[in-house]
Structure formats: structure tokens, C-alpha cells
Structure 1
Amino acid sequence: MATCNGATFLEAQLSSLAKQTRWPDELVISDDASTDDTLTIAAAFAKTAPFPVVLSKNDTRLGFQDNFLKAARLCSGRYVAFCDQDDVWFPEKLSIVYQTLVQKKASLVAHGATITDARLRPITRLVHGAVANRTYARGTFQPLPGNVYGFTLAFDKALLDLIDPALRPDVPDQPGVKLYHDVWVALLASNFGTIVHLERPLAYYRQHANNVLGARRTRRLDRLAEHLDSPVSHYRNRARFAYQCAEAFEVSASNLAVDLALMAHQGAALYRRIATSFGQRADLFEHPQRTRRLATLVTMLASGVYTSRRRGGLGTLSLLKDLLSACSDQRLRLGALETPPHSP
């Protein structure tokens, strides 16, 4: 658990952990220089919790991404579940997630959730992330901000030792901002193992005025609205992100065992193809001349970039959109016919 000035809702979350049908082996709380009663509440819980509680305080604020990664590294068990300070877990969450990790031999499991207001009154179900029961073989799920939610994740801690987190790419639409902890872990899991999605809601995702992830979700929507009018910028950012992913895998391969190094090289090759595809797509939307757009489309078709998304391609709907844009006198906006971000 990563905390920062979370006193308002922390007790409810801690109480839900104590009510798990399978208790965690330990709870590691990394506090990011809170100035409210967060640590006092956590310390009081540690005295009565039915499992060990480890408290760690940052003298200098790390930010939520690095604070979560720090907390995960402090865990002593094989499996780690990210835990937000303001949500509430369903009693069966850890039991179901742990069984799935073991039985499916998964590197990462994600589950569904119920979105609530600040008083935990249900609003709707989470419509991105784990929205269907599905198993993704290695390399067939492409994690992005918007299709990964940290509070739903449990994963094999060994993933954290594969690549230095300092090498993680930037957020696609925020150059200079390192990739969020949850997307980073999902990226590692996708490249080096199996990901399992469980549709079943196993937590309340509380939305409130000071909710970091909720605010992040709103900012994503604002940036997406900007991208609807600027597809070239969006595709350039996606190309940059994919290229940085490829670089992280390639640079790290020499430090890995032979089998893992092969997976790293394969991941680098996959993301280079993805980077090339989005670069070409940006070129297609950027050309004012129809003949140039058609020529770019032919090149993309010949190189096979429109294969299934689960194979690293852009998919059929992207082909349809790009074909219409290439043939039209007025290029399409990004939003038309685009596959939702959670689609494979």
C-alpha cells in the first residue's frame, strides 16, 4: 500500500484487509511524507492487525508511482497486490486472486471493480481493464494508461527484478513523466509471462475530490479529447512510447538469463514493429495529398501492420479507419471507428 495524506478513507480500507477470507501474508505500507494522521492510523492498525504490518516513511516525497514500486520491493512474499489507500476490498478478493495466480501459473492477475462515490455508493462498473474473463499469452496484451488499474493487480514480485524501473518509458501523452507503476508492471508481465483478467468485481473503486487515480483518469479524458483533434500528435506519442519500450527490453537483455533474454529481445522486436506502425500511421494522417496517403497505406498493408492486435498489429478497425482517411478528401478525426483502449 502506498499512502499520502490518506487519513480520511484509510481506516475503511484497512478494515477491509482485516476482513479478507484469506489474509495477506503481510501488509507493507510506504507513506509518502504525509502531513495528516495517516501514519497514526496505520500504526494503530498494525497493533491489532491479524497479520504483520510493515511501516515505512519517505522523508522526501517520491510521488505515487515510485512510492508504489518502493512498497512492492519491500514485500517479502512471492506475490504482491497493489493496494490504494482509499478503496475497499471485497472479502474474497485475495483468496480468488491468489488461487488464480497459482492455478493459472500467471505472472499477473487483474480483476473487475465497482466504481462508487465518496460514501461508497455504487455508481457503475469499471468499463476498462479486466472487463471479461480472459487469459493473455505472452506478448498478446498491450498495457497502456486507460486499460490497467493498479488497485486491481496482483503479480509475481520477480517481475520487478527483470528491468531497472529507471528505464521505463514515459507516459504516452506526457513526455518526461515516467510510466505509471501499474502499467509498468503489466508491461513486464505481458512480455515475460501470462496475464489473466477476471471480470468479477472484487473491490470498490472510490471516487472523491482528492482521489489521485480518479484525477488521473479525468486528465486522461481531457488529453484524449485533445487527441481527437490531433491524431498525428497522438500517433507520434504512441510511436515514441513503443520505441522506448523496445529500448528498455533491448538494453536489459544482456543482464538476463538466456531464456529471459530471448523474451526481452522478442519484446523489443514487437515494440519496434508497433513503433513503426504508429509512425507510419502518423505519416498517413499528416499528408495533405490523397496520393501520398494512399501510398503510405499500401506500404502499411504490404508490411502486415493491420494484423490482430493480439499479435501486435493495429487490427481491422484501424485498417478501415485508415482506408477511409486515405481515400477521403477530408481526413478523419481520431475518435471515429477507433477501437476502445481496453481492446486486445
Structure 2
Amino acid sequence: MATYNGEAYLKDQLESLLRQTFAHWKLTIHDDGSSDNTLAIIRDYQQRDNRIHLLDDGVSGLGSAKNYLHLMQHVDGEYYMFCDQDDIWLENKVARMVDAISRYSKPAAVYTNAYLYKDADITPQKSTTIHPSTVRNTLFFNSGIQGCAVIINHQLLEMLRPFPDHVAMHDHLITMGAVSLGTMTYLDEVHMLYRQHRLNVTGNQLNGYLRKAKSFLCDGKPVIDRAHYEANESFYQRYYDLLDESTKELFRAYFRYANSRSVSERLFILLKNRFVLGDKKGILLFKTVLRKPIN
């Protein structure tokens, strides 16, 4: 768990961990320099449960992504989950996800879904609606599967260490690692309440199809976000020797797309390489016609 000024919601999350039906876990927390009561809350729960540990090393000011990467350098276990300070885990989350990933002996990640949660109201809208599983349907994702929805095994983390020089977010790294070097599997179940509030690091999710459509058509965003493009470049360079030739060619096609000034050429690249966004067909072609390739 990476924390920063999380006193408003931290207790709810910690209590949800204590209610897990799977009991054999260890929670390692690193705080990023909180100025509120976050550390006091953590230390109180440390006294209550010896499975909770604070990595108190004096390092701060990392930001969310680097805070999680810092934690990933200081843990050792068979399986790893990422726990945001402001969500609520349903009681069977750890048990179900450990059961799902225990079937894999090679590098693997499994993710599940969440309901959006705001002002004590749970919406029926699921947090994850696009499901990447391969390099072909993940490269243009401009994101990763939410870290808080994922469990990975030791084999995947060891393959990713040491990390690339440039990382957009820890969940993007994990997602790209799983689809490029191992296996990414979706467990079609809901095991978390994903809290929405103005301080969400990765932003609030839009509710309703009309608002999503308006955002898609009018937000002025490019097809490829520069930060994720640079992260994919760094990923490609760091793990080049581990990638098979077909995967390398997909990365090269993605780079050509980003640097092409021709809409027809970009459409050709998409069609030739069968690029899509997760399990959604057609969206990427539509974006290519309407938007510039990269910011």
C-alpha cells in the first residue's frame, strides 16, 4: 500500500483487509510524506495486527507511481497485490484472486473488477470496461489495468526487475509486463469498491454513456498519450532481449503509427497489425480518423 494524506478513507480500507477470509497475507505500507494523521493511523493498526508493516525509511516525495515501484523493491513473497489507501475490498477478494493465480507457474497477472463508490453510494457501473490481454490489444491503451484490481506472481515481478528508466504508472508497467512477457487473465467477478473523489490520483471515472460519448468526441485528446508512449519506448528498450520477434514488430508498428503524419498510413498500420483496444473493435479506427496520433 502506498499512502499519502489518506486519513479520510484509510481506516475503511484497513478494516476491509482485516475482514478478508484469506488470512495469510502481509501488508507493507510506504508513506510518501503525509502531513495529516495517516502515519498515526498506520501505527495504530500495526499495534492491532502484526501482519501490517510500515516501511519507514525516510524516503518521501516520490509520487504514486514511484512510491509503488519503491515498495516493489522491498517486498518478497509468492504473490503480490496493490492496495490503494481509499478503496474498500470485499471480503473474498484475496481468497478468490490467490486461487485464480495459483494455477500459473509462469509469469502471470490476474485482475478482477470493481463497482464505483462515491458518497457512500455504490453504482452498478463496473470500473474496468476494456479488457486487454495481448500486446496487440494493449499497446494503445494509454493506461494499464488498475493496480488495485491486479494480483501478480513472483515470477512476473522477478522478470520485471530492475524496472525501466521511464514508467508512466506502476499499473501500466505491470500490464505491459504481463501481456508481453507472461499472461494476463480477467477474473470476471467484482471484489472491490473503487472510491471516486476529487483527490483520485488517476482521476474520477465518468458515469453514464452520454458523458462518455461526449468526452470521446470533444476532449481533444490524441490517440496516444505522450507519457505512455515514452513508457512503452522505455519498456521496449529494457526488455528487448526477452521479447519474441512478433512482439517486437508490434512495438515497432506502434512507434511508426505515433510518428506518422498520414491518416491513411496510420489506418493501414492498425489494419495490418490488427491493433484494437482491449476487446473493443472499431474504437481505435474511429479515434485515428478524429484525433491526432500523439500529443
TM-score (normalizing by structure 2): 0.79
Q: Distance in 2 between matches of 1:157 and 1:41?
A: 30
Q: Distance in 1 between matches of 2:13 and 2:235?
A: 35
Q: Which runs of 5+ in 2 are unaligned?
A: none
Of residues 114, 127, 146, the one that matches 1:149 is: 146
| Correspondence for 2:53 | 54
Q: Write the letter of the residue equivalent to 2:47.
A: K
1:311 shift after superposition: 11
Of residues 274, 277, 283, the one that matches 2:262 is: 283
Q: Indicate yes or no: 2:275 matched with 1:309.
A: yes
In the alignment, is the contact (CA less than 8 A) between 1:22 and 1:92 conserved in 2?
yes
Residues 70-104 of structure 1, C-alpha deviations (whole Å, 9 max, x = no match) = 12322221211000111110110001101111124
Q: Distance in 1 between matches of 2:7 and 2:179?
A: 35
Q: Distance in 2 between matches of 1:316 and 1:190?
A: 21
Q: Indicate yes or no: 2:196 matched with 1:207.
A: yes
Greater RCO, 1 or 2 (C-alpha within 8 Å, sep 6+): 2
Of residues 287, 290, 295, the one that matches 1:333 is: 290
1:206 shift after superposition: 1.1
In the alignment, is the contact (CA less than 8 A) between 1:252 and 1:264 conserved in 2?
no
Q: Write the letter of the residue equivalent to 1:308.
A: R
SS of alignment partner, residue 23 of structure 2: coil
| Correspondence for 1:290 | none
Describe the shift of the 1:129–1:29 C-alpha distance in structure 2 as closer, same or farther (beyond 3 A): farther
Describe the shift of the 1:245–1:317 C-alpha distance in structure 2 as closer, same or farther (beyond 3 A): closer
TM-score (normalizing by structure 1): 0.69
Residues 56-81 of structure 1, C-alpha deviations (whole Å, 9 max, x = no match) = 23443110111112123222212110
| Correspondence for 1:325 | none
Q: Which runs of 5+ in 1 are unaligned?
A: 169-177, 254-260, 285-292, 323-331, 336-344
Q: Distance in 2 between matches of 1:311 and 1:114?
A: 21
Q: Distance in 2 between matches of 1:110 and 1:127?
A: 12
In the alignment, is the contact (CA less than 8 A) between 2:7 and 2:41 conserved in 1?
yes
| Correspondence for 2:250 | 270
| Correspondence for 1:117 | 118
How much is the aligned-residue C-alpha RMSD, in angstroms? 3.5
Of residues 142, 156, 159, the one that matches 1:159 is: 156
1:130 shift after superposition: 6.4
* Sequence identity percentage: 22
Describe the shift of the 1:145–1:124 C-alpha distance in structure 2 as closer, same or farther (beyond 3 A): farther
1:319 shift after superposition: 5.1
Compare 146-155 and 38-47 and name the one that shifted more: 146-155
SS of alignment partner, residue 214 of structure 1: coil
SS of alignment partner, residue 187 of structure 1: helix
| TM alignment of 1:33-182, pairs within 5 A | 33-49=33-49, 52-57=51-56, 58-105=58-105, 107-119=108-120, 121-129=121-129, 136=133, 139-142=135-138, 144-146=141-143, 148-161=145-158, 162=160, 164-168=162-166, 178-182=167-171
1:129 shift after superposition: 4.8
- Equivalent residues, number: 282
| Correspondence for 1:341 | none
Describe the shift of the 1:63–1:149 C-alpha distance in structure 2 as closer, same or farther (beyond 3 A): same
Q: Indicate yes or no: 2:235 matched with 1:248.
A: yes
In the alignment, is the contact (CA less than 8 A) between 2:164 and 2:235 conserved in 1?
no
1:55 shift after superposition: 0.3
Q: Distance in 1 between matches of 2:161 and 2:33?
A: 27
1:39 shift after superposition: 1.2
In the alignment, is the contact (CA less than 8 A) between 1:10 and 1:85 conserved in 2?
yes
Q: Distance in 2 between matches of 1:244 and 1:20?
A: 35
SS of alignment partner, residue 33 of structure 1: coil
Describe the shift of the 1:140–1:229 C-alpha distance in structure 2 as closer, same or farther (beyond 3 A): closer
